[in-house]
Structure 1
Amino acid sequence: MVEAWYMDESSEDQRKPHRLEPSRPADLELLRQLGVIYWKLDADKYENDPELEKIRKERNYSWMDIITISKEKLPNYEEKIKIFYEEHIHLDDEVRYILEGSGYFDVRDKEDKWIRIFMEKGDMVTLPAGIYHRFTLDEMNYVKAMRLFSGEPVWIAYNRPAEHLDARVQYVKFLTQTA
């Protein structure tokens, strides 16, 4: 089961857990209220997994690729890690399925506080269009992930502030409806 918690305000290495003291967990229901959807799948059979195929069909995730994020595999690694960790939104959902390794997705809650979601092998998450988020590796410095999109991939990240974008406006409207 995925683990999530509210983050501290420390400027220490972004790859550390950054748990509040005392710890303040964030459960799946809270994530669901933010529009974050989570699945636990068998990453060892991702190439022929009927459960993954069912999710892809139901949610129209028609495009897929696999990315490996490590110093050895990702060109311009240091630059990319900094870019991934800048707070941003997308105009489309961001869908990631962890096949190997681990890392963190951070999302903002309704009060603009950071929640850190620890993602490891078998975890799949959909972050809704318009949610402020960021990604970083953990101290293992390695993740292999499947990226899924509805239609053609869109790689544009809009750094904060992005309140004027329709995806953000729609997301804020969604938050007020789930309050």
Structure 2
Amino acid sequence: MVTAYYHDDKDTPENFTDAHNSGEPVSLAELEKIGVLYYNVKTTEELDSLASKRNYKNRDVVNLNLAAFNNDIEAYTAKMKQFYKEHYHEDEEIRYIVEGEGYFDVRNKDDRWIRTRLQPNDLLILPAGIYHRFTLTSELKQVKAVRLFQDEPKWEAINRDLGKNSAARTEYLETISA
């Protein structure tokens, strides 16, 4: 079962994979208010059923660990920094954790980070346009996840520091302000 809480905002380039638990829990209902959906999925059949209901036609598997980068610590570190840079996507982001664990951080209406710790069987859906970031945990430093897509698999991040508000971002903001 996912754990969600407010981030303590004390991360540095050296410790961003630590828990950073402020001690303030966040409920699944609070996540839903900002469009973030959580499911505990135990079987492939359950995953297939959810994919069908939400019209996800494609999927792939991503492995994040040092071995996946041929033990090239520089390439691995660069990829982890890329995922941790605050961004949003034009499409929903759907991740189902098969092995390992990681943190998804999402911004709430007040622009405060909420950290979710995902472990095997956890599936998180982030709406298009929500600012977020991802990192592995400092304990395991690896994850295997299924990514689901409504169309062809793609991963295009729009970094916050660009200041770009696409239609997806504008629509998201309208959704959470209602």
Gaps of 5+ in 2: none
Find the counterpart in structure 2 of residue 72 from structure 1.
67
| TM-score calculated relative to the size of structure 1 | 0.91
Counterpart Cα distance in 1 of 2:29 and 2:113: 16
Gaps of 5+ in 1: none
Number of residue pairs matched? 170
Deviating more after overlay: 4-13 vs 91-100: 4-13
Deviating more after overlay: 162-171 vs 104-113: 162-171
Counterpart Cα distance in 2 of 1:94 and 1:112: 19
Deviation at 1:74, TM superposition (A): 3.3
Cα displacement string for residues 32-81 of structure 1 (whole angstroms, at most 9, x for unaligned residues): 00100110011xx4xxx221111111101111011110011136211110
RMSD of equivalent CA atoms: 1.2
Pairs within 5 Å for 1:19-168: 19-20=21-22, 23-42=23-42, 45=43, 49-74=44-69, 76-139=75-138, 140-161=140-161, 162-168=163-169
| TM-score calculated relative to the size of structure 2 | 0.92
Mapped contact 1:129–1:167 kept (Cα < 8 A): yes
Mapped contact 1:163–1:169 kept (Cα < 8 A): no
Mapped contact 2:97–2:143 kept (Cα < 8 A): yes
Percent identical among aligned pairs is 42
List structure 1 runs of 4+ shifted beyond 6 angstroms. Answer: none
Deviation at 1:163, TM superposition (A): 4.8
Mapped contact 1:92–1:154 kept (Cα < 8 A): no
Q: Give the alignment partner of residue 16 of structure 2, picking from 4, 14, 17.
A: 14
Mapped contact 2:60–2:153 kept (Cα < 8 A): no
